[in-house]
């Protein structure tokens, strides 16, 4: 373009890698564009500013979306016809509407169709086509229609053809040709079919006679694979002998196991202390003078500084290596499992083969049925049906059937609902249930199919629910639960997230129920045995010593609520409470964390084992009360029962069937509880001796033990328990060291090195979070738009002003012109008049 029309935006600095789009502007072009646009829009508006005319679209249903386009067209057409109906020319009798279809006259189409029809008819009858007849016999065929067409032909020959006729002829010809081609193809097909049929007949004859020879011939046709080739192939496909790992000796295995355990233990300890890994690795970081101390830290550089310590590489690497090794080990384990699976499936197929052999002639049939059965999952019932079919060799298969009946199926699908799961396990012995669960796990190993993971995760939930149900029975099947813990553990190891979620769900439900009861009644009661079992299972599945654990910490909270909120009104409550105390002790046995609720509860239990009296020197806290109801729950006065008591384990089922127990039995249970309490006190003392205020914590219990407990009335065994507990409490040295605050770390001085920020993308502001950036961007965009809009409005106004000015100028000039004209005409008039006057004068 013209260089004089180009405006160059000079840039101050050239920046490499930046693309600029606005370095050259074309002011003239853009201005003319803008004016043009305004002429089309603004000027129009301006000119029509005082006009109120409105354009109305009155076409039928133009803006009605409810009517389909076809219907709309039909209605419009009808309307049009109605309008035309009245106006019809009365004189024109001949007026016939030509009906059309896709712009073609229907009459024409009908004509063509007729021709085609006649053709096809003739073909079916096996007669010659119309044209042929026309050509050969001069168009003398008997059919009237053809005569017409031939007549037409004649006419055509005579007349020079009009355009329309030409086209019609062409269409007709092409259609005919098409038809012909089709018929030819059809007849060819028919012929081949016929040929095939004939051949088959002949072939069967041949085949009956010499089927084998023919087969041989075929084999001969195929050249026998060369022996050399075969060997080459075999060698190629043969599994290469891989260098396998040396079998490890027992010692090595033991050592490895030990190392693994050590690593896990170290991990556990780290979690117990609640130290973050990051915190561990944190080093005094470089502080810059430009640092805003806003906690903004650059992402860590991936490269690791190469550093040596005592001639070794830095430890971090080694740690990582260890981790890698761990992973490898895991993978290996997985592979092993896979192998096992395969083996099993092989076994499976082998056993099935055996069964198949038994039913020789029906082998196909049975295997089909069996595969169906596998899908259905309940093999036995259907097998029964299948066996009915083979009535001829019943004797043979009878034994096998018996064996198969008692035998469990090898493959299971994961049950989709809890009901199916329950029905799967119903009526089985514990061992069978375990085997079923194991097989379900193996058949649906996540590495085998995509959806298996989700299925097995569900299985964990079902199993938990099942355990809960077993525990809530009138006679809780604790032995079964004892065994079911194993599959639970295995599943939990496979899917920690899902397992923790489902246990958390159960805990949340339990806590929610508790909270509701408290809100409604103001007091809570102990939950059923199932909840206690769940809490116990938590301690089996998860490490309870962690500083924070997604499952264990809520469990802690829940147990604390149970011990502090639930009323103790019966002996069952005491047993449940003591069970929870045991749980607490177990949970903290490694981490030695302090549980105030535990001490409170034990104190309360001791308190209710004493005869009613005013508490002296100690105070019991909620849920126990110093005075009032529910005291003396553990008090045993019967001398006989005291004497006959023997320490025995409290059966857990007692919480559901205590009512049936005899008085003596109840008394014995009470004494067992007391003994348990003494033992727990002893364990607590051992656990908490390192706490700085151990004596203050144990103070009330010690007072109660030494001053209030009637030791001499207890049986000897109980006295042993008592003394061992007291001994554990007494022989702790009192040891106090004044507290001193940790020294503050000195705040590092700010250094005057520049803060270096990585630039990830040019031309984009980096600072701030994503949200902040977005906000800034929005603000900026808004500003830009606003400026643009203002500029546009200003230009519009300028344009309008220009228009108005030009209008005024035009008007003014017109007026001037008119005035001039008038003046001119007046002047001429005047002139003429003067001339006349002068003439008069002259005359």
Partner 1 sequence: QLPTGLYKKVLVILHDSVLPYMNEPTLMMDFLTVAYGIGGAISLLALNGLFILIHQHNLEYPDFYKKLYSLLDPSIYHVKYRARFFHLTDLFLSSSHLPAYLVAAFIKRLSRLALTAPPEALLMIIPFICNLFRRHPACRVLVHRPGGPADMSEDPYVMEEEEPSKSRALESSLWEIQSLQNHYHPDVAKAAAVLNQFLSEMEDDISGLLELSAYELFDKEVKKKAVDVPLEFEQVRGLFGKKNDIFAEHFSLD
| Smallest separation, CB 451 to partner 1 (Å) | 22
Between 359 and 652, CB nearer to partner 1: 652
Least distance (Å) from partner 1 to the CB of residue 659? 17
Q: Are 542 and 552 in contact (CB under 8 A)?
A: yes
**Minimum separation from the CB atom of position 734 to partner 1 (A):** 5
| In 24-143, alpha helices (H) | 27-40, 42-47, 69-87, 106-125, 130-137
Q: CB of residue 674 vs partner 1: minimum separation in angstroms?
A: 11
For residue 680, what is the enclosing H or E element?
helix 663-688
- The nearest distance, CB 695 to partner 1, in angstroms, is 8
What tokens appear for 38 in the block?
């305004």
- Indicate the residue among 437 and 652 with the shorter CB distance to partner 1: 652
Q: CB-wise, 126 or 746, nearer to partner 1?
A: 746
Is residue 275 a contact partner of residue 548, using CB atoms and an 8 Å limit? no
Tell me if residue 308 falls in helix, strand or coil. strand
Beta carbons of 36 and 52 less than 8 angstroms apart: no
Q: 405, 400, 415: which is closest to 382 by C-alpha?
A: 405
Cβ neighbours, 10 Å, residue 713: 12
Cα separation, 669 vs 654, whole angstroms: 9
User: Torsions phi, psi of 621, nearest 5?
Assistant: -115, 170
User: Is 417:406 a contact under the CB 8 Å cutoff?
Assistant: no
Whose structure tokens read 């149970």?
Answer: 562
- Shorter beta-carbon distance to partner 1: residue 415 or 715: 715
Half-sphere exposure of 717 (CA within 13 A, CB side): 13
Q: Which residues pair with 313 in a beta bridge?
A: 308
User: 42 or 703, CB closer to partner 1?
Assistant: 703
**Parallel/antiparallel/unpaired status of strands 312-313 and 308-309:** antiparallel
Q: From the CB of 282, what's the least distance to partner 1, in Å?
A: 17
Minimum Å gap between C-beta 330 and partner 1 is: 12
CA atoms within 13 A on the CB side of 198: 6
Least distance (Å) between residue 564 CB and partner 1: 5
CB of 572 to partner 1, least distance (A): 13
State which residue, 369 or 464, has the beta carbon closest to partner 1: 464
Residue 567 contacts residue 623 (beta carbons within 8 Å): yes
> Are residues 705 and 725 in contact, defined by beta-carbon separation less than 8 angstroms?
yes
Q: Which is nearer to partner 1, 359 or 615 (CB)?
A: 615
Q: Which is nearer to partner 1, 141 or 700 (CB)?
A: 700
The C-alpha angle 752, 756, 760, rounded to 5 degrees, equals 170
Nearer to partner 1, 139 or 554 (CB): 554
User: Measured from the CB atom, is 357 or 497 closer to partner 1?
Assistant: 497
Nearer to partner 1, 148 or 259 (CB): 259
Q: How far is the CB of 490 from partner 1 (least distance, A)?
A: 9
CB 723 within 8 A of CB 729: no
| Nearer to partner 1 (CB atom), residue 404 or residue 583 | 583
Q: Which is nearer to partner 1, 459 or 507 (CB)?
A: 507
**DSSP-derived 3-state class of residue 216:** helix
Closest CA to 421 of 457, 459, 456: 459
As measured in angstroms, the least distance from the Cβ of 753 to partner 1 is 29
In the complex, the smallest distance separating the C-beta of residue 797 from partner 1, rounded to whole angstroms, is 57
Cβ pair 795, 34 in contact under 8 A = yes
Nearer to partner 1 by Cβ, of 492 and 718: the residue is 492
Contact status, residue 503 vs residue 533, Cβ threshold 8 Å: no
- Taking the complex as a whole, how short is the minimal distance between the CB of residue 729 and partner 1, in angstroms? 15
Rounded least distance, CB 543 to partner 1, Å: 5
Pairing of strands 104-105, 7-8: unpaired
Closest CA to 97 of 106, 157, 477, 669: 106
DSSP 8-class letter at 427: T
Minimum gap (Å) between residue 482 Cβ and partner 1: 4
Q: How far is the CB of 335 from partner 1 (least distance, A)?
A: 20
Comparison of 122 and 433: residue with beta carbon closer to partner 1: 433
Q: Please tell me the distance from the alpha carbon of residue 599 to that of residue 584, in angstroms, as a whole number.
A: 11
Considering beta carbons, is residue 190 or 332 the nearer one to partner 1? Answer: 332
Which is nearer to partner 1, 386 or 678 (by Cβ)? 678
Report in angstroms how near the CB of residue 583 gets to partner 1 at its nearest: 8
In this complex, which beta carbon is closest to partner 1, that of residue 25 or of residue 651?
651
CA distance 817 to 823: 10
The Cα angle at residue 147 between residues 146 and 151, in degrees rounded to 5:
115
Q: What is the distance between the alpha carbons of residues 594 and 588, in angstroms, rounded to a whole number?
A: 8
For 24, phi then psi, to 5°, come to -130, 130
- Could you tell me the smallest distance in angstroms from the CB atom of residue 788 to partner 1? 45
Q: Which of 192, 188, 194, 183 is nearest to 126 (CA)?
A: 183
Burial track 327-363 (b if 16+ CB lie within 10 A, e otherwise)? eeeeeeeeeeeeeebeeeeeeeeeebeebeebbeebe
Of 312, 305, 400, 386, nearest to 351 (Cα)?
400
**How would you class 691 by CB atoms within 10 Å of its CB: exposed for 0-12, middle for 13-18, buried for 19 or more?**
middle
567 neighbors 520 (Cβ within 8 angstroms): no
- Cα–Cα distance for residue pair 727/698, rounded to 1 Å: 13
């Amino acid at each position: 373009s013209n260089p004089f029309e180009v405006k160059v935006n000079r840039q101050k600095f050239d920046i490499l890698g930046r693309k600029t789009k606005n370095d050259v502007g074309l002011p003239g072009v853009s201005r003319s564009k803008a004016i043009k646009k305004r002429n089309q829009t603004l000027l129009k508006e301006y000119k029509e500013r005082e006009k109120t005319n409105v354009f109305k679209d009155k076409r039928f249903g133009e803006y009605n979306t409810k009517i389909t386009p076809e219907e709309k067209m039909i209605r419009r057409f009808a309307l049009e016809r109605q309008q035309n109906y009245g106006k019809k020319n009365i004189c024109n009798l001949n007026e016939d509407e030509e009906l059309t279809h896709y712009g073609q006259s229907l009459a024409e189409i009908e004509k063509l169709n007729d021709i085609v029809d006649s053709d096809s008819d003739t073909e079916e009858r096996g007669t010659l086509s119309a044209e042929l007849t026309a050509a050969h016999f001069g168009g003398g065929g008997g059919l009237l229609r053809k005569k017409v067409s031939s007549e037409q032909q004649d006419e055509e020959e005579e007349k020079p053809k009009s355009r329309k006729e030409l086209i019609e002829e062409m269409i007709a010809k092409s259609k005919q040709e098409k038809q012909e081609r089709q018929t030819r193809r059809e007849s060819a097909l028919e012929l081949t079919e016929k040929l095939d049929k004939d051949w088959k007949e002949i072939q069967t004859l041949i085949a009956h006679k010499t089927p084998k020879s023919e087969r041989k011939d075929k084999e001969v046709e195929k050249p026998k694979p060369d022996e050399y080739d075969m060997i080459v192939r075999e060698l190629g496909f043969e599994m290469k002998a891989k260098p396998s790992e040396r079998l490890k000796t027992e010692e090595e295995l033991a050592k490895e196991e030990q190392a693994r355990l050590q690593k896990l233990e170290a991990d556990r300890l780290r979690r117990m202390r609640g130290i973050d890994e990051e915190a561990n690795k944190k080093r005094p970081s470089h502080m810059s003078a430009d640092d805003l101390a806003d906690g903004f830290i650059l992402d860590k550089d991936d490269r690791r500084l190469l550093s040596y310590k005592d001639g070794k590489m830095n430890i971090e690497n080694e740690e990582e290596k260890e981790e890698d090794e761990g992973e490898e080990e895991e993978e290996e384990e997985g592979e092993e499992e896979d192998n096992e699976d395969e083996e099993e499936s092989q076994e499976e197929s082998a056993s099935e083969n055996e069964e198949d052999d038994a039913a020789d002639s029906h082998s196909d049939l049975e295997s089909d049925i069996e595969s169906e059965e596998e899908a259905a999952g309940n093999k036995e019932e259907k097998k029964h049906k299948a066996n009915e079919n083979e009535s001829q060799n019943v004797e043979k298969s009878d034994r096998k059937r018996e064996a198969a009946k008692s035998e469990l199926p090898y493959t299971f699908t994961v049950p989709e609902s809890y009901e199916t799961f329950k029905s799967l396990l119903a009526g089985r012995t514990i061992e069978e249930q375990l085997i079923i669960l194991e097989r379900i796990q193996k058949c649906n190993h996540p590495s085998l199919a995509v959806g298996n993971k989700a299925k097995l995760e569900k299985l964990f939930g079902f199993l938990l629910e099942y355990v809960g149900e077993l525990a809530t029975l009138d006679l809780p099947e604790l032995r079964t639960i004892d065994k079911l813990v194993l599959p639970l553990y295995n599943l939990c190891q496979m899917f920690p997230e899902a397992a923790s979620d489902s246990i958390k769900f159960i805990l949340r439900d339990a806590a929610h129920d508790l909270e509701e009861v408290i809100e409604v009644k103001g007091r809570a009661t102990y939950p059923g045995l199932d909840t206690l079992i769940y809490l116990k299972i938590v301690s089996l599945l998860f490490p309870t010593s962690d500083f924070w654990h997604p499952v264990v910490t809520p469990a802690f909270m829940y147990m604390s609520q149970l011990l502090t909120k639930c009323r103790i009104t019966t002996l069952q409550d005491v047993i449940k409470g003591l069970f929870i105390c045991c749980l607490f002790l177990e949970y903290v046995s490694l981490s030695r964390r302090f549980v105030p609720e535990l001490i409170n509860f034990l104190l309360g239990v001791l308190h209710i084992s004493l005869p009613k009296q005013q508490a002296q020197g100690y105070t019991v806290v909620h849920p126990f009360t110093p005075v009032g109801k529910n005291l003396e729950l553990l008090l045993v006065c019967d001398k006989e029962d005291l004497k006959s008591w023997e320490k025995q384990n409290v059966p857990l089922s007692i919480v559901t069937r205590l009512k049936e127990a005899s008085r003596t039995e109840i008394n014995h249970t009470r004494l067992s509880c007391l003994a348990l309490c003494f033992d727990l006190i002893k364990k607590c003392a051992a656990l908490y001796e390192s706490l700085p205020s151990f004596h203050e914590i144990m103070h009330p219990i010690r007072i109660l033990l030494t001053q209030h407990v009637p030791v001499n009335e207890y049986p000897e065994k109980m006295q042993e328990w008592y003394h061992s507990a007291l001994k554990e409490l007494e022989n702790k040295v009192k040891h106090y060291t004044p507290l001193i605050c940790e020294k503050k770390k000195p705040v590092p001085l700010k250094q005057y090195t520049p803060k270096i920020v990585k630039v990830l993308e040019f031309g984009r502001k980096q600072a701030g979070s994503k949200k902040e950036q977005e906000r800034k961007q929005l603000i900026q965009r808004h500003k830009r738009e606003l400026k643009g809009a203002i500029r546009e409005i200003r230009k519009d106004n300028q344009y309008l002003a220009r228009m108005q000015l030009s209008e005024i100028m035009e008007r003014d000039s017109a007026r001037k012109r008119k005035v001039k004209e008038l003046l001119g005409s007046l002047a001429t008039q005047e002139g003429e008049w003067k001339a006349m006057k002068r003439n008069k004068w002259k005359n």
